[in-house]
Structure 1
Amino acid sequence: MPPAPSNRPNRDETLVTPVRERGDACPGALRLHTADDGALARVRVPAGVVSAAQAYALADAAERLGDGALDITSRGNLQLRGLGPGCGGELARLLDAAGLLPAPRHERVRNIVASPLSGLDGRGHLDVQPLVRELDALLCASGRTPDLSGRFLFALDDGRGDMTELAADVMLLAEPGGARVRVTVGAASAWVRPEDGPRAMLLAAEAFLDAASATGTKAWRVRELPAQGAELAGAPVWRELTSSAPAPPSPPGPDSAADPESAGPESAGPGSAAPVPGAVPAGPHGVGALSVGVPLGRLSVAAWRVLADIARAHGTGELRVTPWRGVVVPGAGPGQSGAPAAAGLVTDPASPWPGVGACTGRPGCAKSLADVRADATAHLAAGAGGLPVYWSGCERRCGHPRGTWVDVVATGDGRYDVAVRGAGADVPPDRRALPELADALAAARTITTPTK
């Protein structure tokens, strides 16, 4: 039986320990980033959850102040682009009135992802949504968490294993029976009662801050610490946590998230835990949902309002944005799939869109060497159903997925480098011009790589 999932990065993502000379410049709702298409604001929404009222407020803000669209990030947050000069104050007022800025000083550290179907489909070992709300409240009340980087990531996995591919800095994993959860940071783990999980995650983040200071690295992420945070296992906080832990952990059984068979039918595509588009049946204690894919993670305010309308009229009144750039509408069913499809969203589980992603590219990003969204759309069908593919306008690869994926990077001469990245992958880049790209993509997406 393989070991329980951890939040340690893939072998190909390990980093040389840097020494940070400055704080990170990650954008937020109050700290805007200037791009070629105007200012950009990133609104943190813990676990991707927004109420229908908040969804309407975001649509209004994007329409009045931005370019009329919303982008979904790889952390399940939301971005507004094309913001005009001097609109920061008005945007802040709109977000605050909608309850999207509960703690302005902490707004960039509310990076929390969670199993998007938790409590909806009857799977998993524990509904983690109440724990998300408790963790968010603790982060916003802490005097130390504003020192965390805007890139530091918390993840709560209900036991189905969908969060493990996101390489979070602090992760909570529910265990069979729901009587305990495992909290992991770097090489350190503690088993605690579910109600103690959010506080354990906060303490883990504070232990990271202590380690970043003590080592002199001023690290932004756990994997940037020496030995990827191995020293955290000796931190006093773990003695405190384990002293109140439930019974010692047992080896994972067949119903554990460590079991590859537990991925279930809601996993979209090879190596991905994303909910597939379409209706999500209700489990014994769930309410069901409608899962909607968003092509390239960008949707118009009109399409966003369609989802908010469905949430208000046919669902539980909330939306859940996923780290795979989709949206789950809790409580909605197959009868509501027509309107999102008409708005350009994906509700067909056979669609090739969930396997394709791209960065902003031209014209929005000055560093991009190509209009990658247009090129990705033109090559949508190439290798459909195979490995996920991600298009990048430059070597920074902003927003690329985890796991194993096909890496398509613009080179600036009308060509792209095509390679396979991820654990076990050993496929060197193949440089192709656009007319030859479809064959290279199809070949790369059918490559099989060893699993860890």
Structure 2
Amino acid sequence: MNASTPRHHHADRCPGVLRPWIADDGALVRLRLVGGAISTQALADLALISGEHADGHLYLTKRANLQLRGIEHDDGCVSDEFVEAVTKAGLLPSPTHELVRNIMVSPLSGRVGGQTDLRPVATRLDEQLCDDPGLANLSARFLFVLDDGRGDLVDRHLDLGVMAVDPDAAQVRVGSEHWGEVVELDAVPEVLLDLARRFLEVRDDESIWHVDDLPDRGAELLGINYARDLRTQVASLPAPHGVIVQDDDRSVEHVDVPQGDLTHQLATQVLARAAREVIVTPWRSLLLPDLGDPRD
């Protein structure tokens, strides 16, 4: 590690359920959603939890997560009742790894466009991440980004990730600058987690939060810096708000959430229209997928 390596001179305090941030209006907690996905039942439960324990709102983040704020606390700790309610809703699947379950996925993946469906890859990445005790030592800000080849997340700052190049393969990304080998989709979770373990080995202390904080922005993790595959040279804007036809002829509705503030009224409207799942997007909006054929 050289003298110019960026370091953070304060502890990582990125919040979670078991490690809230204490603000002027009370405790703030962040709920990590893999790929932004949350079941409608869990969202309904969370709206009730916010009404009972927080300020009644749900706040969308740029990492496609949800936050609650205004929560009562005792010396920086939220109540056991609050934690139990969140756990019962299925939103704290791994207390040991809750802070490191930072996995962003192209929101429309598997439903509209893209090279391939990365949702199964994200699920396996999350499961294997939580199965490794050592990976709980990653920073709560360490981010995995999975772009399904449409380029909607290609400009996101990330620590590790992939971008799909065809239906069966993706190119690895290391930090914001480096590209790795093209690997089969089935190998993506193992490859990314091996790189995450390598990151923990080469950083010299916990003041190094990100791959970009390493010398040469993490090139040493790769060993060989591969050329960027030409098939990754694409970019796309967020989908317009409104109804979009899915590839299976069902529909997905893209709902604007002004300033990322999901009020009780708007949550009620969303839940009345949603099917089984809601997707929080990195643009602080919501997708309601798998609705009926819009032509019916």
- Secondary structure at the counterpart of residue 155 of structure 2: helix
In structure 1, the residue matched to 2:222 is: 233
Shift of 1:131: 0.8
Shift of 1:156: 0.7
In structure 1, the residue matched to 2:85 is: 94
1:168 aligns with 2:158: yes
In structure 1, the residue matched to 2:33 is: 45
User: Amino acid of the residue matched to residue 52 of structure 1?
Assistant: T
User: Amino acid of the residue matched to residue 5 of structure 2?
Assistant: T
Shift of 1:17: 2.5
In structure 1, the residue matched to 2:181 is: 190
Shift of 1:166: 1.4
Q: Which has the higher contact order (CA 8 A, sep 6+)?
A: 2
Change in Cα spacing, 1:57 to 1:217, as seen in structure 2 (3 Å) is: closer
Q: Measure, in 2, the Cα distance between the counterparts of 1:51 and 1:217.
A: 34
Shift of 1:287: 3.6
Shift of 1:19: 3.0
Indicate conservation of the 8 Å contact 2:150/2:234, yes or no: no
Change in Cα spacing, 1:334 to 1:193, as seen in structure 2 (3 Å) is: closer
- Secondary structure at the counterpart of residue 191 of structure 1: strand
1:327 aligns with 2:286: yes
Change in Cα spacing, 1:179 to 1:326, as seen in structure 2 (3 Å) is: same
Cα shift readout 1:153-208 (whole Å, capped 9, x = no counterpart): 111111001111211111111112x1211121133512211011111111121121
In structure 1, the residue matched to 2:199 is: 208
- Secondary structure at the counterpart of residue 120 of structure 2: helix
Change in Cα spacing, 1:299 to 1:205, as seen in structure 2 (3 Å) is: same
1:135 aligns with 2:98: no
Q: TM-score, normalised by structure 1?
A: 0.60
Q: Measure, in 1, the Cα distance between the counterparts of 2:216 and 2:164.
A: 26
Gaps of 5+ in 2: none
In structure 2, the residue matched to 1:5 is: none
- Secondary structure at the counterpart of residue 331 of structure 1: strand
Cα shift readout 1:403-432 (whole Å, capped 9, x = no counterpart): xxxxxxxxxxxxxxxxxxxxxxxxxxxxxx
Q: 4+ runs of 1 displaced by more than 6 Å? A: none
Shift of 1:112: 0.9
Shift of 1:333: 6.0
Cα shift readout 1:234-259 (whole Å, capped 9, x = no counterpart): 28xx9xxxxxxxxx99952xxx3413
Q: TM-score, normalised by structure 2?
A: 0.90
Shift of 1:48: 0.6
Compute the RMSD of aligned alpha carbons: 2.2
Q: Measure, in 1, the Cα distance between the counterparts of 2:146 and 2:271.
A: 25
Q: Measure, in 1, the Cα distance between the counterparts of 2:11 and 2:132.
A: 19
Indicate conservation of the 8 Å contact 2:179/2:228, yes or no: no
Gaps of 5+ in 1: 1-15, 239-247, 268-273, 336-452
In structure 2, the residue matched to 1:430 is: none
Shift of 1:288: 2.8
Cα shift readout 1:76-116 (whole Å, capped 9, x = no counterpart): 11000111124432221011111111110100101111000
Q: Measure, in 2, the Cα distance between the counterparts of 1:109 and 1:76.
A: 14
Relative to its length, the structure with more strand (as a share) is 2
In structure 2, the residue matched to 1:445 is: none
1:26 aligns with 2:17: no
- Secondary structure at the counterpart of residue 259 of structure 2: helix
- Secondary structure at the counterpart of residue 133 of structure 2: coil
Indicate conservation of the 8 Å contact 2:148/2:164, yes or no: yes
- Secondary structure at the counterpart of residue 137 of structure 1: helix
In structure 2, the residue matched to 1:36 is: 24
Q: Measure, in 2, the Cα distance between the counterparts of 1:300 and 1:134.
A: 32
Count of residue pairs brought into register by the alignment: 286
User: Amino acid of the residue matched to residue 141 of structure 1?
Assistant: D
Q: Which of the numbers 97, 114, 137 marks the counterpart of 1:124?
A: 114
Q: Measure, in 2, the Cα distance between the counterparts of 1:50 and 1:305.
A: 15
Q: Which of the numbers 258, 270, 278 marks the counterpart of 2:233?
A: 258
Shift of 1:229: 1.1
In structure 2, the residue matched to 1:222 is: 211
Indicate conservation of the 8 Å contact 1:169/1:221, yes or no: yes
Q: Larger Rg: 1 or 2? A: 1
Change in Cα spacing, 1:71 to 1:217, as seen in structure 2 (3 Å) is: closer
Q: Measure, in 2, the Cα distance between the counterparts of 1:259 and 1:131.
A: 21
User: Amino acid of the residue matched to residue 327 of structure 1?
Assistant: L
